[in-house]
Structure 1
Amino acid sequence: MYVDGVSIVGRGIAAKGPEGVVFANLDLEVSSGSLAVVAGPGGTGRTSLLLALSGRLPLITGYLDVSGHVLPAQAKAVRQLVRPARLRPGYELEEQHRVREAIRERHLISGASLRDIDAALSLVGLAPDRSALVGELHAADQLLLAIALTVASFPAGILVDDVDVGLPMASRAQVWAALHEVTRTGMTVLASATDAPSGDVEVIHLPAREPEELPTDVFDLLEEDTQ
């Protein structure tokens, strides 16, 4: 499994939601095949920035290039390159599905082969009970399952929101280690967390601000991702 990951360059970018600007005057660079972490307290615009970098939230100003595709004009192409594994709210695994049902559904919708899904599960170090409900899995295993199901279709990049939320330190380390393994395929990982992990990570810091609210059209774009 090898993927040509996305690279990203942003200069002076800004976006807004119903309550106003969620981030502004932001410069960033993300290397192909890197683990890039949007870090900051809850409500700083972490999710909005992930959405913007993947063509799912329009900018109000600034320049943003994702592997030669300039946003917002080429947002549709960018959405095909960068796929969400988890985005909150709006894009998470259905807890009432059994693991085998989640696997089968992703196989049918994304076209990922069952063999590739098995390989992706192995890549992130997960061997779940396939008869268990997704909601019965440990929170870290739920997240790893979502990551594996997204990786299996070989996108150029993946989005993983709120990596550290609700996880004890040992589980956080497990998930970060799995995301590092994903980058070894060449895939770019765009994640968000309160604090970035140590090691080989590209960190995008966001300042504290009021809690963000996402535009309603964002949820329409997330719905498109499941079709």
Structure 2
Amino acid sequence: MDIDGADFLARGITAIGPEGIVFEGIDLRVRPGELGVLTGPGGSGRTAMLLALSGRLRLASGHLEVSGHVLPSQARAVRQLVLPARLRPGFELDEQHTVRGVITERRLISGISRPAVDELLARVGVDPYPSDLIWELHPAERLLLSIALAAAAAPAAIVVDDVEAGLTAAGRTRVWTALRLLVQTGMTVIASSTEAPSGDAVVIRLPRPEYDEPTDVLAWGGGGW
């Protein structure tokens, strides 16, 4: 698997939701094949930032481009380059479906082959029973399955929200290890977490804004995977 990763460049980007500022004046640069980590307390806009970087949230100001595609005018192209592995709400596995069901659904939506799925499941180190319901999986396995299904489509980048949510220290280590294996393919990975992992990563720290992050951010033009 050899991927041409996405290149992210942002200068002074700001997003505003119904309750006020979500994040403000953020600069970042994540180059192809790097692991970028958005950190910050609850309400600092981590999820909204991932939506913006994947072409699914309209910014109020600033400059944002992904592999030369300038947002918002080229948001459709960015959405083809950058796939959500997990973004809450809206981009999560249906907990009432079986593993077999979500794999079949994703293959139909994305046109990915079963060998591609199997390769990514092995790469990230997860092998759930096909008949298991998603809610029955260990939280780390559930997230790794989401990551594998997004990466199987061989996008230039994936985004992953709340890496640490519900995980033990061992589970977090397992997920960060899997994400580092993905960047070795050339794929760019941008994830959010309350704390940055140890090791080599591009860390973007988001301060808490004056207002709490709204639950209904102003996304546009980007339903589905």
Q: Shorter-chain TM-score category?
A: over 0.9
Say whether 1:35 aligns with 2:35: yes
d(CA) in 1 for partners of 2:218, 2:12: 23
Residue in 1 that maps onto 2:156: 156
d(CA) in 2 for partners of 1:217, 1:38: 19
Measured after TM superposition, the shift of residue 91 of structure 1 is: 1.3
- Cα deviation, 1:49-95, whole Å, max 9, x if unaligned, reads 11111111111111111100011111111011001010012211001
Residue in 1 that maps onto 2:100: 100
Residue in 2 that maps onto 1:213: 214
Q: Which runs of 5+ in 2 are unaligned?
A: none
Higher RCO by CA contacts (8 Å cutoff, separation 6 or greater): 2
Measured after TM superposition, the shift of residue 211 of structure 1 is: 2.8
Give the 3-state SS of the residue equivalent to 1:123 in structure 2.
helix
Residue in 1 that maps onto 2:80: 80
Write the letter of the residue equivalent to 2:213. Answer: E
Residue in 2 that maps onto 1:117: 117
d(CA) in 1 for partners of 2:163, 2:154: 21
d(CA) in 2 for partners of 1:22, 1:43: 8
Give the 3-state SS of the residue equivalent to 1:16 in structure 2.
strand
d(CA) in 1 for partners of 2:42, 2:141: 22
Measured after TM superposition, the shift of residue 208 of structure 1 is: 2.0
Give the 3-state SS of the residue equivalent to 2:104 in structure 1.
helix
Deviating more after overlay: 137-146 vs 15-24: 15-24
Q: Which runs of 5+ in 1 are unaligned?
A: none
- Cα deviation, 1:122-168, whole Å, max 9, x if unaligned, reads 01011111111111000000000000001001010001000001111
- Cα deviation, 1:167-200, whole Å, max 9, x if unaligned, reads 1101000000000011111111110000010111
d(CA) in 1 for partners of 2:124, 2:153: 14
TM-score (norm 2): 0.96
Residue in 2 that maps onto 1:186: 186
Q: For the Cα contact (< 8 Å) 2:57–2:217, is it kept in 1?
A: no
Give the 3-state SS of the residue equivalent to 1:132 in structure 2.
coil
Residue in 2 that maps onto 1:59: 59
Q: For the Cα contact (< 8 Å) 1:48–1:214, is it kept in 2?
A: no
TM alignment of 1:16-27, pairs within 5 A? 16-27=16-27
Q: For the Cα contact (< 8 Å) 2:140–2:175, is it kept in 1?
A: yes
> What is the aligned residue count?
224
d(CA) in 2 for partners of 1:106, 1:60: 33
Write the letter of the residue equivalent to 1:194. Answer: T
Measured after TM superposition, the shift of residue 214 of structure 1 is: 4.5
TM alignment of 1:9-20, pairs within 5 A? 9-20=9-20
Q: For the Cα contact (< 8 Å) 2:15–2:23, is it kept in 1?
A: yes
Q: For the Cα contact (< 8 Å) 2:120–2:149, is it kept in 1?
A: yes
